Amino acid sequence: MIERYFEDLQVSDRFESGTFEVTEKGIVDFAYDFDPQPFHLDEAAAEASVFKGLAASGWHTAAAAMRLLVTGGLPFASGIVGLGGEIAWPKPTRPGDTLHVESEIVEITPSRSKPHQGIVTVRGTMFNQNQEAVYVLTAKLLVPRRTTRK
Amino acid sequence: MIERYFEDLQVSDRFESGTFEVTEKGIVDFAYDFDPQPFHLDEAAAEASVFKGLAASGWHTAAAAMRLLVTGGLPFASGIVGLGGEIAWPKPTRPGDTLHVESEIVEITPSRSKPHQGIVTVRGTMFNQNQEAVYVLTAKLLVPRRTTRK
């Protein structure tokens, strides 16, 4: 895997991640820790909710996407450091889903004040096994140049 | 705690959460599962990184905020169901931080197609013990009316 620095990147560059398997235990464990709402914890309660069945916390979905990005989905040297961005969950993530992320660079902005780095805007879409988008993240990432100190 | 329905909410309504204690173990455990980058896993590696010390994954910070919101920080009937939004991490979250979230309703939009619910936009800011903002989330939430079926 070739790790990219700021000067290696271009708008429209695309990257694809490996896969993440969603389990009922994973959904419930995450929800117990961070999003203890009935529709993320219990199948019967979830059936009666707006989700109509057990659904992962949106933050579990977001965390799964990050795992896919940092384990090869977005091969940036010095890692993936985000300043912020926009997120959306077009559909729920379900037990048994197999997820992957397809990313595209949409904007590249050199920093005037910090010449050793720049901002790269990446739009990542996470799909399930039916090619339905479950999560879209457009994030501004801090990316260093190859020569970071002089 | 009074749980709010759509018709109970007004722009400028404010809510405040309890607190979340950030531990080194919590940071490392989350990172191991979802964001295994050196600056979230190891103090020495983090010292040499852009973070200059161990920092929580931004997604751990986001998940901690969700925990604060669903455990009293945002008392919406039927829970907190987000469609998406904008996020930013102005400063890192560190071991030992005590976090809380202050939320404000910034927009209320009735649904034309679904009269039993509406969209409420909430801006939540999570502060550390020094009143520094570590996370800002502006989210569109699906909120039901009191009478959901007729």
For B142, the enclosing helix (H) or strand (E) is strand B133-144
B125 in Cβ contact with B102 (< 8 Å): yes
Q: Which residues in chain B have Cβ-Cβ distances shorter than 8 Å to A49?
A: 78-79
| pLDDT at res. B76 | 93
From the list B30, B57, B142, which residue is nearest A50 (CB)? B142
> At residue B61, what is the residue type?
T
How many CA atoms does the CB half-sphere of A66 hold within 13 Å? 28
Question: In this predicted complex, what is the ipTM?
Answer: 0.95
Question: A24-34 vs A58-68: helix axis angle to the nearest 10?
Answer: 110
Alpha helix (H) ranges present in A6-130? 24-34, 38-41, 43-47, 58-68
Task: Tell me the mean pLDDT in the region A69-91.
Answer: 95
Chain mean pLDDT for chain B: 95
User: For the whole model, what pTM was predicted?
Assistant: 0.95
Q: Is the pLDDT of residue B150 over 70?
A: no
The runs of H, that is alpha helices, within A1-150 are 24-34, 38-41, 43-47, 58-68
Q: % helix / strand / coil in chain B, to the nearest 5? A: 25, 35, 40
Contact flag B59-A57 (C-beta cutoff 8 Å): no
Q: What is the pLDDT of residue A2?
A: 79
Within 8 A by CB and 6+ apart from A131, the residues are: none
Is the minimum CB–CB distance between B57 and chain A shorter than 8 Å?
yes
Q: What per-residue confidence (pLDDT) applies to A1?
A: 66
Residue A148 has pLDDT above 60, yes or no: no
The reported pLDDT for the residue numbered B41 is: 98
Measure the CA–CA gap between A131 and A48, rounded to whole angstroms.
26
> Minimal Cα–Cα distance from A126 to chain B, Å?
14
pLDDT band of residue B102 (cuts 50, 70, 90) is very high
Band of pLDDT at residue A150, cut at 50, 70 and 90: very low
User: Which residue on chain B is closest to A69 by alpha carbon?
Assistant: B35
* Chain A touched by B88 (CB under 8 Å): yes
The pLDDT assigned to A112 comes to: 87
Digit-coded pLDDT (tens) for A94-145: 999 999 999 999 999 998 898 899 999 999 999 999 999 999 999 999 999 9
| A–B CB contacts, 8 A cutoff, strictly below | 90
Helix (H) or strand (E) holding B129: none
Q: Are B34 and A67 in contact (CB < 8 Å)? A: yes
Q: What percent of chain A has pLDDT over 70?
A: 97
- Cα dihedral across residues A70, A72, A73, A77: positive or negative: positive
Contact (CB<8Å) B50/A83: no
In angstroms, what CA-CA distances link B62 with A127, B43, B83, B84, B101? 21, 21, 15, 13, 11
Q: At A59, which amino acid appears? A: W
Q: What is the model's pLDDT at position A85?
A: 97
pLDDT for B112 equals: 87
Nearest CA in chain B to A138: B86
Residues A57, B66: C-beta atoms closer than 8 Å: yes
B interface mutation test: which of A17, A33, A39, A81 has the most B CBs within 10 A? A81
Instruction: Tell me the pLDDT tens digit for each residue of A38-48.
Output: 999 999 999 99
Catalogue the E-assigned strands of chain A: 14-16, 20-21, 82-88, 98-110, 117-127, 133-144
Provide the residue type at A56 as one letter.
A
Show residues of chain A in contact with B61, CB under 8 Å. none
Interface of A with B in 117-146 (CB under 8 A): 136, 142
Q: How confident is the model at residue B78 (pLDDT cuts 50, 70, 90)?
A: confident
pLDDT tens per residue across span B7-64: 999 999 999 999 999 999 999 999 999 999 999 999 999 999 999 999 999 999 999 9
What is the arithmetic mean of pLDDT over A44-72? 97
- Taking the alpha carbons of B36, A99, A106, A74 in that order, is the dihedral positive or negative? positive
Q: Kindly list the residues from chain B whose CB atom is less than 8 angstroms away from the CB atom of residue A51.
A: 81
The answer to whether A26 faces chain B, any CB pair under 8 Å, is no
Decide if A90 contacts A133 (C-beta within 8 A). Answer: yes
Structure tokens at B9: 């909410």
pLDDT at B114: 87
Mean pLDDT, chain A, as a whole number? 95
Cα torsion angle, A31, A103, A86, B94, sign: positive
